[in-house]
Structure 1
């Protein structure tokens, strides 16, 4: 059984917000980890990392808001997805 999701242009869904929050948490963590690997004596600027997180969130939301409309069809298996693709 497939699931069809329509993503309209100039709209943001709750799933987009959740992904944006996830992205805005992961980006500063990776920046901090990279800093720790490069310089073990580094003192982290948490204010800068918070700004990176906010920037990542806003950037992701803007990308999704202006992205072109999409129809997303999910399938349970690769075989089912390939059959759906062939029938389009």
Structure 2
């Protein structure tokens, strides 16, 4: 069995979702494919109709933010500031 396999995932604009699961369940791979950092074996990833394929910039520009599983990404910043380090200022939540 491959992880992730046969995934459909939709998120309405403005919502925030967390992805949890056991080790080896495919969370890291799913995140990499969704962000454009990894090319899927089959299927496609589209954000607002635009495909993200082997390039993380379109996904970031279209509002996909990946927050890694770390207690403090950048010490000294608030939780809110740590959620948006790579998000352009105009796209950050206020």
Instruction: Name the TM-score, length of structure 2 as normaliser.
Output: 0.26
Higher helix share: 1
Point out the structure with max Rg over C-alpha.
Answer: 1
Higher strand share: 1
Instruction: Name the TM-score, length of structure 1 as normaliser.
Output: 0.27
Which one scores higher on RCO, CA 8 angstroms, separation ≥ 6? 1
